[in-house]
Structure 1
Amino acid sequence: MASILPWLASLPARLRARLRVSSSSSRPSSRHLIHTVSLHYLLVVPVALAIATAAVLFAHSDVNVAMLFSQCHARSRLPWLSHLPVIGAPSCFLVSFFGEALASSRAVAVMGVVLAYIGSLLTVSTVEAARICNGPSVLIAYPTGGWLVFDLVGGAMVWQLLIIPAFFRRSKEVFAESEAATATASEAATETEADTSTNRHLSVVAEVVAIPVAVALGYVVPSLAMLATDAPAAIVAWLFFPLYVSAIRQAVRWAIHHVAASLAGRSLHLESDRPSLLAVYAVPIAFSVVAQVLLIYNLVAVADDRKEMTRSTLKFIEIDFFFILLTVLYWILVEAGWRVVAVVLVSSVVLGPGAGLCLGWIYREQQLGFAYDAVPGDAEQGADGLSEETPLLQ
């Protein structure tokens, strides 16, 4: 009898461990390129896309863009900015470049779609930064620096040469660690601590509020101000949106933990909670849909009013945007397969590229089986009865 009591006491833990193994085995068993192809070979395409981006941009360069920089270098354009030491001419050129790219209603409509897509990509990267499993990767977990370089200097090539390789490398590491953890769990039917290296929970519940608020206030509001006014000050403010998003996200997290201290340290599996999923992706999807509708209306009902300089500058942005699209589609294809790419493309045609990316990313999690990571009853509750499903504000 004495030997049976310890066995009965450990039974719930053993059942939960077996439930985890069963959940893991219920995930789709199909392997994708990220699982079967060497990292070195996977990186050939991003490098080729980076070379193609540079080549196409160079081929489409013209005298208008060169003249724009010449005016800034001569301090004859935006004197309050161009006269700054060292950074004056480059800053003037960057602000003037975006200003000319927004100098017509057609250009504003096109830029709206581009900015909406960047907002969706920002949301996706911020969600991935908040996941526990991506903590070991500095480029993924701390995306502000990469986004600043992308925005101020590198454009598509930052994603092709820096960010995408980081995601590929981390995906391979997570897959290897997940396989090892599954094998260990199959051999020993005892409950173990969750492996943080493969845990796709958001690190804290507060991210469900912090991410959409940060994207809305730190990115969407400056983007709308730039689209609406085309003022140099609005463009300058928009250029530093990665800093705003990071600061607001941290401030909101701190405020929530300060108000509801019991939520600090509690994680949440985003894809297992539909209200949270909607809250995180609602802003970029709405931005994309509105931008898509306005672009279609402008193409159908409004004459093209772009001048030569606007065409020249907007052409550069469109080329860079096109290669960003190709790069992200390749990223999704490698990690999730052609079905997710198809969802992204179809959704993009109807709702805009930004919404297509968000919907495709949600579908990606389901295709990869990440939606099954949260096992019912697996979340620990404190003495106060709170769990990861407890509302943030009561």
Structure 2
Amino acid sequence: MDTPSARPRQAVHHFSLQYLLVVPILLALLTGYILFLHGDTDIYMLWSQCHARSRIPWLSHIPVLGTPSCFLVSFFQEALSGTRAVAIMAAILSFIGGLLTISTVEAARICNSPSVLIAYPTGPWLAFNLIGGAIVWQLVIIPAFFHRSRAIIAARSTSSPSPTAGPSDPNFGESMRHLTQLAETIAIPAAVALGYFVPSLLILVLDSPASIITWLFFPVWVSLARQGLRRATLALKRHWHGTFHLESNKAALVGMYAVPILCSVLSQALLVWSLTQRDDRKEMTRATTKFIVIDVFFIGLTVLYWVLVEAGWRVTAVMVGAAVVLGPGAGVCIGWIYRESTVDPDRSVTVVAVGGRSSGEATPSEETPLLR
């Protein structure tokens, strides 16, 4: 691993926020153009059928929201019709699950607490899933992370820690990359598994309107499950209120990313197998699948740009390599784990050390037990 003195600074240190946002904006414009270019009349027919109340009558007859709700549910129903379509969607869902995991982990880090869009990701994720797709990542989520990174760098380069700053200061604290609470190591992976991966499995297996509607609101289920599990964990383990550095404990790190990586590997195997079989997708399924694949492809490009700017080409290469072999969900998770070793807002600044820790309490390490 590179030492801090030898590690080069990444692009996020050298370019202002305005310049960093040029690429996401261009990608958003390109995404919209490509999706419009590849828009199929079959997809427009779905809207017409829902507007005419001929599809999913119990849903399409709801005033105001009936037509768009029917269209969204019908769109995913068609995208899940057939063995090849299920395999493609499984790979896509594993990728989204990986992104959801790292997004939720970043939401729990002390350094991101000042950013509403990062610390409270339910709103942006709902907008992504219900309305904007890749464009939400390009114009909302990624810019929020760039803005926060630049804010930290600016604070550390233009000022010094205040006398009242502690180790958990989001800009200067030694613990700024820690999770706000140790309980998050239980709450986050369990919430993502229950709130996202279980509904995702249900839509792959059932492909019913009820299962799709449930899945569409997965950001809400993940948020509620995370809050409930965190409170339950803290009620049972009161000393788990303290901060915790996830990457310093192998058991916690494996537990955090095990489900998305495993699901990614399984979906990758399913996709490879499906490519050896006859493509059983109908015309409507091909149209909806193509639309989703294009959207997710541009999300992937945006995420790679994000990682390249903040962590450099090596992390980007690791992410791409892992995605090719183990699937996109595993790729983003493994790349993100490696990325953490490159995070370095400013090597020259003096951080606020954890001086308030009692002498008998050691810094969390690989040997620190997760349950104690």
Q: Provide TM-score, normalisation by structure 2.
A: 0.91
Residues 381 and 263 of structure 1: is their aligned pair in 2 closer, same or farther, counting only changes over 3 Å? farther
1:82 matched to which residue of 2?
60
C-alpha separation in 1, matches of 2:292 and 2:165: 50
Q: Who is 1:144 aligned against?
A: 122
Give 1:111's aligned residue.
Answer: 89
Structure 1 counterpart of 2:32: 54
Unaligned segments of structure 1, at least 5 residues: 1-24
Q: Distance in 2 between matches of 1:28 and 1:277?
A: 26
The number of residue pairs the alignment matches comes to: 361
Instruction: Please name the residue that 1:276 is paired with.
Output: 252
CA positional deviation for 1:176: 2.7
Between the aligned partners of 2:169 and 2:259, the Cα distance in structure 1 is 29
Structure 1 residues 86 and 27, CA, compared in 2 at 3 Å: closer, same or farther? farther
Question: Corresponding residue for 1:100?
Answer: 78
Which structure has the highest helix share of the two? 1
User: 2:307 pairs with 332, 346, 361, which one?
Assistant: 332
Q: Percent identity?
A: 56
Residue 154 (structure 1) aligns with: 132
Aligned with residue 295 of structure 1, among 271, 275, 298:
271
Q: Is the Cα–Cα contact under 8 Å of residues 252 and 370 in structure 2 kept in the other structure? A: no
Instruction: Give the 3-state SS of the residue equivalent to 1:367 in structure 2.
Output: coil
Choose which of 167, 170, 181 in structure 2 pairs with 1:194: 167
Q: Report the residue type matching 2:212 in the other structure.
A: I
Q: 1:197 and 1:28, CA in 2 relative to 1: closer, same or farther beyond 3 A?
A: farther
Change in 2 beyond 3 A, CA 1:254/1:58 = same
Amino acid of the structure 2 residue aligned with 1:355: A
Q: Which of 235, 238, 256 matches 2:212? A: 235
Q: Distance in 2 between matches of 1:206 and 1:160?
A: 31
Deviation, structure 1 residue 386: 9.1
Change (3 A) 1:290 1:146: same
1:177 is aligned with what amino acid? Answer: A
Question: Measured at CA, do residues 350 and 91 of structure 1 come closer, stay the same or move farther in structure 2, by a change above 3 Å?
Answer: same
* Structure 1 segment 10-21 matched on structure 2, within 5 A: none
After TM superposition, the structure 1 = structure 2 runs for residues 1-394 of structure 1, keeping only pairs within 5 Å, are 26=4, 29-179=7-157, 193-194=166-167, 196-198=169-171, 199-264=176-241, 266-300=242-276, 302-369=277-344, 380-381=357-358, 391=369, 393-394=371-372
**Matches of 1:143 and 1:297 in 2, distance apart?**
35
Q: 1:126 to 1:297 in 2, by over 3 A?
A: same
| SS in structure 2 of the partner of residue 314 of structure 1 | helix
Q: Which residues of structure 2 form unaligned runs of 5+?
A: none
Give secondary structure in 2 for the equivalent of 1:140: helix
Q: d(CA) in 2 for partners of 1:374 and 1:358?
A: 28
C-alpha separation in 1, matches of 2:21 and 2:74: 34
Instruction: Give yes or no for contact 2:112–2:118 (8 Å, CA) kept in 1.
Output: yes
Work out whether residues 125 and 219 of structure 2, in 8 Å CA contact, stay in contact via their aligned partners in 1: yes
**Distance in 2 between residues matched to 1:270 and 1:379, nearest whole Å:** 20
* Letter of the 2:27 counterpart: L
Shift of the 250–100 alpha-carbon distance from structure 1 to 2, 3 Å rule, reads same
C-alpha RMSD over aligned residues? 2.5
1:367, distance to aligned residue in structure 2 (A): 2.2
Instruction: State whether residues 166 and 352 of structure 2, in contact with CA within 8 Å, keep that contact through their aligned partners in structure 1.
Output: no
How big is the shift at 1:388? Answer: 5.4
TM-score, normalization: structure 1? 0.86
Determine the C-alpha separation between the residues in 1 that align with 2:120 and 2:164: 32
Task: Return the alpha-carbon distance in structure 1 between the equivalents of residues 153 and 5 of structure 2.
Answer: 13
* 179 and 387 in structure 1: CA distance in 2 versus 1, 3 angstrom threshold: same
Distance, in Å, in 1 between the alignment partners of 2:4 and 2:370 is 31
Larger Rg: 1
